[in-house]
Amino acid sequence: MIEFMPDTISIHALKKQLLQHPQADKLSSLALFYRWYYGPRFEEAQRNFIRSLAGYSVFCYVFNVKDRHNGNIMLSRNGHLLHIDFGFMMQNSPG
């Protein structure tokens, strides 16, 4: 199954773009990025991130999700954390 995820960016792509940003030193962590990017909506975005991270953590633990890396973890425009590429689950991992 394939689903298009509009208005999202992977952590890997975000870090790559931020390294080229003129204010790269001020955006060195995800918390600083959230404050800069979301501005007055920071608390809402932070709440969305925390809730989605909690669900993601429980899901990955219960279903033993493998292949977690910055290319598979996405951020949505409203602050939610998303995981893509569930090809390696239940002890079926690369290598």
Query: Mind listing the pLDDT tens digit for each residue in 14-42?
Result: 888 888 878 777 777 888 888 988 999 99
Give a yes or no: residue 88 inside a domain. no
Give a yes or no: residue 91 inside a domain. no
Q: Report the C-alpha gap between 4 and 25 in whole angstroms.
A: 32
Cβ–Cβ < 8 Å for 57, 63: no
Of residues 86 and 62, more confidence is placed in 62
Give a yes or no: residue 79 inside a domain. yes
Give a yes or no: residue 62 inside a domain. yes
Give a yes or no: residue 25 inside a domain. no
What is the mean predicted confidence (pLDDT) over 84-90?
Answer: 63
Cβ–Cβ < 8 Å for 73, 82: yes
Q: Report the C-alpha gap between 89 and 75 in whole angstroms.
A: 21
- Number of structural domains found in the chain: 1
Give a yes or no: residue 2 inside a domain. no
Give a yes or no: residue 70 inside a domain. yes
Closest by CA to 85, choosing from 52, 71, 16, is 71
pLDDT bucket at 71, cuts 50 / 70 / 90: confident
Of residues 85 and 19, more confidence is placed in 19
Residue 3, token pair as written in the block? 């689903």
The number of beta carbons lying within 10 Å of the beta carbon of residue 81 is: 21
Per-residue pLDDT at 39: 92
Residue range(s) defining the domain that contains residue 64: 8-19+31-83
Give a yes or no: residue 94 inside a domain. no
For the chain, the first-to-last Cα distance in angstroms comes to 24
pLDDT bucket at 91, cuts 50 / 70 / 90: low
Of residues 92 and 69, more confidence is placed in 69
